Amino acid sequence: MTTTASGRRFEAVCFDLDETLIDSAVAWRAGFLDAFALEVAPRYPELGATAEPLLELQPLLVAEVQARGGRWGDFVIRDAVRKFFRAHGIEDDRSADRTTEAYEAAWPRHITLFPDALSALDAAAELGPLALITNGPSTGQRLKLERTGLLDRFEVLAISEEVGAEKPDLEIFTHTLEGLGIHAAAAVHIGDNLHMDIRGARDAGMTAVWLNRRGGDPAEGVTPHHEVADLEAFVQLLG
């Protein structure tokens, strides 16, 4: 059983959303494959034959986020897709924008929960209230929650666009704790991102659990209190 420093069981459990409860990578990948098949392949067959569009777009998406101060702002995907076209010698913003629109229509169809998500939420709820702390636009994050039936699972929904702060900022964790009505030491947070989730939770004074589903390497200067490979192991950790 994992307990707080005072020896009590945790009073609340906080979850990350993407790549913790929801297999977002699958939805993003499938969304781009659908969009490229629909909009790119008929006009530009060589470009449309890209085997893994998301893999090639990833550095451009990261660059767009970094250009916005590390935040996911408006038009990140649109601007990245435009630059992807241009990098392949195609000056056609209209087609790039249609591709973005096709992606935004397609990816929600592929939203799925990880198989261990619901049972972990059920087990965590036996300890106390649940909270969700997630970075992203309100519309997109709430759509994921609606599609997966998770919208009413949490006492506190801390969505970065709504809070006005993103992980790892202290503000979004403090907002969550205030909503739960507990001290940081009484809460545990689990997430897949060492910088956003683990550093942020630790800085806020919470117990930080790294969900390392894909066998990633540790990051220098960021040490989780605990590491688990799946949510079943997290439930065992909770006791």
Confidence grade of residue 8 (pLDDT, cut at 50, 70, 90):
low
In this prediction the pTM is 0.90
How many other C-beta atoms are found inside a 10 Å radius of the C-beta of residue 123? Answer: 17
Which tokens go with 119?
């049972």
DSSP-derived secondary structure letter, 109: G
E strand spans, the chain: 12-15, 130-134, 156-159, 187-191, 207-211, 226-228
- pLDDT of 5 over the 70 cut: no
Give CA–CA dist 36/161, Å, rounded: 29
| Chain segment 11-44, per-residue pLDDT in tens | 999 999 999 999 999 999 999 999 999 999 999 9
Cα–Cα distances in angstroms (integers) from residue 237 to residues 21, 138, 208, 210, 214, in the given order: 17, 31, 12, 12, 19
- The residue ranges of every structural domain in the chain are 12-23+112-238, 25-110
SS3 227: strand
DSSP-derived secondary structure letter, 225: S
Residue 142: predicted pLDDT: 96
Residue 49: predicted pLDDT: 87
The answer to whether the Cα torsion of 194, 51, 60, 142 is positive or negative is negative
Which residues pair with residue 187 across a beta bridge?
A: 12
Which tokens go with 116?
């261990």
| Chain segment 136-186, per-residue pLDDT in tens | 889 999 999 999 999 999 999 999 999 999 999 999 999 999 999 999 999
Q: What is the CATH number of domain 25-110?
A: 1.10.150
Q: What is the CATH number of domain 12-23+112-238?
A: 3.40.50.1000
Cα–Cα distances in angstroms (integers) from residue 2 to residues 5, 11, 12, 18, 98, in the given order: 10, 12, 12, 24, 50
